[in-house]
Amino acid sequence: MNDTVVVITGASAGIGAALAELLGSRGAALVLAARRSERLQAVAARCGDRVLAVTADVTRREDVRRVRDEALARYGRIDVWVNNAGQGISRTPSALTDEDIDLMVLQNVKSALYGMQEVLPHFRERNAGHVINVSSMLGRIPYVVARSAYSGAKHFLNALTANFRAEVQQTHPGIQFSLVSPGVVATEFGLNALHGGPDSRSFSDAQPVREVAEVIADVIASRRPDVYTRRGSRERVAAYISTLAEDP
């Protein structure tokens, strides 16, 4: 990890903050982006000397472009871009509004799309680079009714990631696009959901955030394309798929 330049969005708390601290301890050069400047600076202070904190709203393309430009100005290159920013929702599908859907797509799909599109020219110049999109088990199995719009957005992100990989690797095989899918993680995710929600840290089966960060760090090293953060997740998804529509 030494000297690897990593951009992390949504880095002021949760998975992003834990990943930043872990990679910083392993010698990575970091660019951390988030909207909450004070919290972002506090995370940056725990990540060593090679860290740049950029206050930015990654639902705005111009802010994402600025994060990219400031990263290149500081380090001269970007090796890994982690699209971690996102938001949940607590609303049943029959009650969803146009605004709910638009916000879920903006926070969970467009923010990642902007990151992929804005860093891609730099990666293509080098035929090297790695995008990691943080998705969710809800992007595989829509098992929480109140999270339906979030689940749909993560399904969208999964398809977008796979298709980016297929398109780009036709001409630039040195560029990888990886998907990481956690389940419930012990963070403030639930509290920060649109329309509120239970504290994810209160669930007995919530995965420690450090474990998720360790998985993402391993994906940086291994460049595996599609990874769950908990054992047994692949079997759980396969069991769900087996219950879906049958062939005629």
Number of domains in the chain: 1
pLDDT score recorded for residue 212: 98
pLDDT score recorded for residue 66: 98
Per the model's pLDDT, the better-predicted residue between 82 and 245 turns out to be: 82
Q: Which residue has the tokens 């605004």?
A: 99
Q: Is residue 248 part of a domain?
A: no
Q: Which domain holds residue 180?
A: 5-241
The angle formed by the CA atoms of residues 87, 141 and 8, to the nearest 5 degrees, is: 35
Reported as a single tens digit per residue, the pLDDT across 80-117 is 999 999 999 999 999 999 999 999 999 999 999 999 99
Q: Is residue 38 part of a domain?
A: yes
Task: State the sign of the Cα–Cα–Cα–Cα dihedral 51, 54, 60, 65.
Answer: negative
Quick check: pTM over 0.75? yes
Q: Is residue 86 part of a domain?
A: yes
Is-catalytic flag, 150? yes
| pLDDT grade for 240, boundaries at 50, 70 and 90 | very high
Q: Is residue 246 part of a domain?
A: no
Pick the catalytic residue: 75, 114, 150, 228?
Answer: 150
The CATH number for 233's domain is: 3.40.50.720
pLDDT at 69 over 80: yes
Q: Is residue 31 part of a domain?
A: yes
Estimate to the nearest angstrom the gap between the alpha carbon of 73 and the chain centroid: 23
Reported as a single tens digit per residue, the pLDDT across 1-37 is 778 999 999 999 999 999 999 999 999 999 999 999 9
Share the mean pLDDT of the chain.
97
